[in-house]
Amino acid sequence: MEEHDIVIVGAGPVGLIAAMDLASRGIRAVVLEARSDEEPMHSRCNTTSARTMELLRRLGCSERYRATGLPADYPVDVVYMTRINGQEITRYKLASSGTRFSEDRFSHDGNWRSAERSHRSSQMFLERVLRDHAINAMGVDVRYFHEVTDVSQADGRVELSFTDTRSGQEGRIGARFVMACDGGRSTLRRRLGIQMEGGATGLGRTQSVFFRSDDVLRNFAATPGWMNWVINRDCFGNIIPINGTDLWLTHCMIPEGAEGVTEEEYDRQIRQLMGCAIDYEVIGIETWQFSRVVASRYREGNVFLAGDAAHAWPPYAGHGMNTGIEDGVGLTWMLAGVVQGWAPEAILDAYHAERHSVGGKVSNAAAGLAAAQHEITQDMRFRAATEEPGETGAAARRHLRNRLLDTDSHQFNAEGLNFGLHYDASPIILYDEGEAPPFAVSTYTPSTVPGCRVPHFVFAETGTPLLDRLGKGFTLLVSDDDIDVSGLVDAAAACGMPLQVIDIAHEPKAKPLYDRKLVLVRPDDRIAWRSDSAPANPDEIMAVVRGAATDGGTSFNARRTQ
């Protein structure tokens, strides 16, 4: 039986990016995927966050992915209208992919504190780019047609059973660690007996209909957008362009008590959205529940849950897939440290402590956005009047316009969800007296408080963003040339922990952001420790941040705050 350090189950975006991140650190993981190696045929997530784009940039495939999806000049506004062929209610302006950086100042989500911006493209296209880059550029061993059926653990080793879906042949593979990135119906999670906590949101069940039609675009009465919401007495729903020409995605509500949406029902709903009959060809249909659930634990022994295997929530603000991707890279650097020998296995206890709380925060935020929009759009006093003539219809549209812009602006300008989530209870972060800025979906305040994302800035002389200078290991940012950091450098070298030092003392754009002279940044861009002076005990600092302190740094933190 084959034995590996790390096996990843699931070759969706979470699993592939995790495998590529490991490969970039010199660690070869095997990826098992039940599906075939053909292109995915259903469009799911249609927003890739700015944070995910930062990760793709680091892995070398962000530009290729930006070339996918809608044409460069296709408007990606969020539009609210009575029907596709009806009257526009309001519009939330976003920059198209072709002007994503040059015209940021004119866009609601412009001027974000990052070297990257979000990209409106389907997960269908993302998976194609990731698969090709992982296999052909980074040498990742991806094995399709491998359906994992069972898992067992003993003596620090995991054994997976699988079936080759082409031949029916069964097999086993062993690993020191396993990442379960196998989706919302995760076999591994169920086999391990890990429960999902939460439940249905009360917003019902939905069927996503992915279809092809040349008729949709020609029936828009207003300039089309990326997210086209339709609000009228008959329905509330949306139509999303996938390629800007003939591929579309819509979401149809499943009637209470029904198993799914019949052909007659989704045809009726599409006609209600359009305002007319169209010719179309259904490519794929998927059913899903509006739920807000998070796994009770993200780890069982040496198996770790990530992505939809660990959480699910309403697709508001587009952060299901994106949160899952950061789950993966929040774990891979720790696994790399253990496999490479500079971190003990105790570091892995930090994964649940850090990412489980994030899952709770994001799920609550998504559920709140969904509930707020639901309250507005289900108020039939106004929804039923959107197409009425004269002042009656105008008043209803004004009411909806004002409330929708105020509510939905948070999910479509979600800088806080991208960069403002704080790790507040990690055993490998050295907290101090500082308090992180409060979390809000659309608000982000850069901070050097330990547990926060490292603040973005651009180096004056080269124009290089800090993101491009951060390496695969830890980075010590130094704002005072008179501080001797050799003790920290020597402490890292003594235990084999990768560490680079970057002088930012003379960077004008860094000075307003960095209120401590020494800031230690982890491989996942989180701040692990900060100070205004060289520490007297650099070995203890390195022990905590690499998981080697027996008390997780508790006593050290207590001494610092006395």
Amino acid at 559: R
Structure-block tokens of residue 285: 């249909």
**Contact (CB, 8 A) for 7 and 178:** yes
Give the per-residue pLDDT at 44. 76
Are residue 135 and residue 189 in the same domain, yes or no?
yes
Are residue 503 and residue 377 in the same domain, yes or no?
no
Q: Name which of 235, 242, 277 is nearest 82 in CA terms.
A: 235
pLDDT tens per residue across span 158-176: 999 999 999 999 999 999 9
Q: Which domain holds residue 304?
A: 2-69+119-197+293-358
Are residue 306 and residue 446 in the same domain, yes or no?
no
* Residue owning tokens 């999910």: 411
Query: From CA 480, how far away is CA 533, in angstroms rounded?
Result: 9
558 within some domain: no
Q: CATH number of the domain that 134 lies in?
A: 3.50.50.60
Q: Name which of 552, 543, 459 is nearest 506 in CA terms.
A: 459
Q: How many residues does the chain have?
A: 562
Are residue 399 and residue 513 in the same domain, yes or no?
no
Q: CATH number of the domain that 504 lies in?
A: 3.40.30.120
215 within some domain: no
pTM: 0.94
pLDDT tens per residue across span 424-462: 999 999 999 999 999 998 889 999 999 999 999 999 999
* Residue owning tokens 């506004």: 77
DSSP state of 120: -
269 within some domain: no
Q: Name which of 505, 339, 389 is nearest 86 in CA terms.
A: 389
Residue 464 CB neighbour total at 10 angstroms: 12
Beta-carbon contacts of 479 under 8 Å, excluding residues fewer than 6 positions away, are 504, 505, 510, 511, 514, 516, 517, 518, 519
Give the per-residue pLDDT at 103. 53
288 within some domain: no
DSSP state of 29: -
Are residue 386 and residue 525 in the same domain, yes or no?
no
Query: From CA 111, how far away is CA 117, in angstroms rounded?
Result: 9
Are residue 37 and residue 128 in the same domain, yes or no?
yes
171 within some domain: yes
Are residue 339 and residue 484 in the same domain, yes or no?
no
pLDDT band at 562 (very low <50, low <70, confident <90, very high): very low
Least confident of 18-32, 81-95, 293-307, 359-373: 359-373
Strands 281-295 and 196-212: antiparallel
Chosen domain end from 338, 358, 378: 358
519 within some domain: yes
pLDDT tens per residue across span 49-101: 999 999 999 999 999 999 999 998 898 899 999 999 999 999 988 877 766 56
H helical segments located in 109-197? 123-132, 187-192
Are residue 40 and residue 168 in the same domain, yes or no?
yes
H helical segments located in 413-522? 415-419, 466-469, 486-495
52 within some domain: yes
Query: From CA 534, how far away is CA 241, in angstroms rounded?
Result: 54
Task: Please state the domain count of the chain.
Answer: 3
Are residue 188 and residue 161 in the same domain, yes or no?
yes
242 within some domain: no
Give the per-residue pLDDT at 558. 41
**Contact (CB, 8 A) for 147 and 33:** no
Are residue 140 and residue 177 in the same domain, yes or no?
yes
CA-to-CA separations, 423 to 294, 320, 334, 477, 504, in angstroms, rounded:
17, 18, 15, 20, 25
Are residue 505 and residue 382 in the same domain, yes or no?
no
Are residue 128 and residue 182 in the same domain, yes or no?
yes
